Amino acid sequence: MSTDSIRFDGRVLYLAQDAQTVARQLAGEDVTLAQALPLRTDISTDEITPAFICYHYDDKLGDYPYLGLKCGEELPVAPGRVKAGGFAVTVAGRRYGKGSSREASPYAEWCAGIRLVIAESFERIYRQNCRNLGLLTSTDFGLIERIQRGEAIPVEEFTRGEDEVTAELIRRGGLFKLMRARKLGWGPVVRPAAFRPMTYAEKIIARASGLQAVLPGDSVFAKADWRYAHEYVSPMSISSLEREMNGNVMLHDTASIVCFADHLTFIHRSMPAERRKLGMLDLAQAMAQTQQRFCERHGIKLHGLLEDREGSEGISHSIMAERYVRPGDLAIGTDSHTPHCGALGTLAFGVGATEMASAWMTGEVRVQVPTTCRVRLTGSLPAVVEAKDIVLHLLRLPYVREGRAIGQVFEYTGDVVSALSTDERATLTNMVAEIGGFTGIVVPDEETRQFLRERRGIAFALEDWMCSDVDAEIAHTLDIDCSKLEPMLAQPGDPGLGVAVSELNAPVLVDIAYGGSCTGGKRQDLQRVHAVLQWATERGMRVARGTRFVLQFGSQDVREYCVREGMLDVFERAGVELIEPGCGACVNAGPGVSDRPDQVTISAINRNFPGRSGPGQVWLASPSTVAASAIAGRIVSFEQLKRENHDY
């Protein structure tokens, strides 16, 4: 791109709520912004590039942007239509690019000819992926008229207000170009911050950057203690790295790189026949093979598929928390749910494929120091309320729904957090991805030490610096009186559509119940499910006729724990379908996905964007609510199930 200005030679595509408005544009008709209103909001990466599209990681992606875009009940975009339409600019509403960290989404837009995305607001990882690829973004709707007049837009329109490193990244047109410039001597002007009170997250960033202090808004290059990836994203990282290094790949400190086969472990058991005919299964399975060859070539630890039975060693986040990360570490992963590891006091956040490739090469990751939102959980947590219920409550708060939490660190504190297990804390930090935050974190304490001692045999000593200073800068505080909470749901379409189970106006029959994923497949999650099913089997009850209950372990460590505790017998007697570890239904790639739009699923996964877990309607809930609903055949909490059976 020019260093001074850019001319966008192409049409403007408005992603409208009205399907016909989108279809008219794809057919060749130009519309105005006024005619396109209202625009679609909360467009997820699952809608920009549905999961099965991401089996491609080359310019073939250009045929598929917006294939999953849902306008009302319609999907108006067909393969190839965006690329054929000659569009250069996409326009949408707030919180564009929610959900997965998949860089395939902006790359698909780029390959289709899109060079600028304008939206009211953007999710952090999506926007970062755009910048790493050279795809421009803006929240200035005034640019539309200027572009349509043929005006060349000064690059400073896209760098205004950005820190020096981000501005240079935008000017140079991508992360690899910036890293080449760094190698040749370019660097930001270093203005070391004077000592200041800092949050725990800021302290980790400062230490990883070799600085005494950092300020929100600073961009730094930080050393990553862990860089991990899974087979659904690593092939794109590998491909871009090989291109950048002309096939002569050199990696920094391979001992701190870990790879996983978790996303596509059971794809052969859920992929529809029509996609198999298109060769999609071969493409999906080739991704794992690409990752395996890369790991073998470079001596990288791979937690892969099991040799003696179907399944994998486990989900990346689960294993990282169970075996690798420690308090004070900085970890990055190619998945938006990397904040899972924040439960152990690790600063863990998701990055895209290009950023991971760069980190593999340099050992560093670019971090723009985020502001912090402190979440104080106080009161007495009712026995029927779980961490998932807390998060679903947070997701429906205006502060989150309006996008004001985007890019912030969510620091969980308060008496309720102190009493939660590390597994439950991991649900809180994991689902900061749905909140739109940078990461979630819990300052390490005695519970953290106990987890490390019991799970890993480590006698970890907490250090004095591992805390947030009393007068550290906090951008916002959310005070939640947990004594007022009750079992929650998220209605189909978005994790932010929260409603209490007790508020349902009519019975919601359940076709599929799914327990598992990184959010719902931990030890304590399975304990919750077991408690419900043990109660049920003792009363001669089992999974309702017409309902299928799929239960998947988050890792082999979790599975072995359940075996030791004698849980499997209860699961089997209750009529549960047990599945070996993997991501499975959470990424539309395993048992538990729906296969018809009329099917209803209640799920312990973390997000329910359109198409996320099949074409049906997905409700989110806690593990115990999922289990209780499987027994009842309709959505109920465990509390309601016991009351209905006069046992409360």
- The answer to whether residue 189 scores a pLDDT higher than 90 is no
Residue 488's φ and ψ, nearest 5 degrees, are: -115, 165
> Are 391 and 415 part of one and the same domain?
yes
Whole-number pLDDT of residue 3: 62
Count of domains for the chain: 4
> What is the average pLDDT value for the chain, to the nearest integer?
95
> Are 353 and 208 part of one and the same domain?
yes
- The answer to whether residue 132 scores a pLDDT higher than 50 is yes
Asked if residue 195 is part of any domain, the answer here is no
Asked if residue 187 is part of any domain, the answer here is no
Whole-number pLDDT of residue 594: 96
Reported as a single tens digit per residue, the pLDDT across 415-435 is 999 999 999 999 999 999 999
Asked if residue 190 is part of any domain, the answer here is no
* CATH number of the domain to which 331 belongs: 3.30.499.10
- Which whole-number Å values give the CA distances from 507 to 167, 455, 492, 502, 632, in the listed order? 53, 41, 15, 11, 11
> Are 459 and 499 part of one and the same domain?
no
The residues, any chain, with a CB within 8 Å of residue 87's CB and separated by 6 or more, are: 10, 11, 12, 13, 112, 113, 114
Asked if residue 66 is part of any domain, the answer here is yes
> Are 244 and 318 part of one and the same domain?
yes
Average pLDDT over residues 22-38: 98
Q: Of 333, 365, 397, which closes a domain?
A: 365
The H-or-E segment that residue 178 falls in is helix 175-183
Asked if residue 188 is part of any domain, the answer here is no
Reported as a single tens digit per residue, the pLDDT across 213-256 is 999 999 999 999 999 999 999 999 999 999 999 989 999 999 99
Asked if residue 581 is part of any domain, the answer here is yes
> Are 321 and 396 part of one and the same domain?
no
| DSSP class per residue in 330-380 | EEEESSTTGGGGGGGT-EEEE--HHHHHHHHHHSEEEEEPPPEEEEEEES-
Q: Of 484, 505, 540, which closes a domain?
A: 484
- Residue in the block written with tokens 């009519």: 506
Asked if residue 375 lies in contact with residue 478, where contact means CB atoms within 8 angstroms, the answer is yes
> Are 137 and 208 part of one and the same domain?
no
3-state secondary structure of 37: coil
For residue 261, give its domain range.
200-365
Reported as a single tens digit per residue, the pLDDT across 512-560 is 999 999 999 999 999 999 999 999 999 999 999 999 999 999 999 999 9
Reported as a single tens digit per residue, the pLDDT across 570-594 is 999 999 999 999 998 998 989 999 9
- Residue in the block written with tokens 């497949």: 521
Whole-number pLDDT of residue 1: 43
Whole-number pLDDT of residue 2: 42
* CATH number of the domain to which 386 belongs: 3.40.1060.10
Q: Of 462, 484, 506, which closes a domain?
A: 484
> Are 142 and 95 part of one and the same domain?
yes
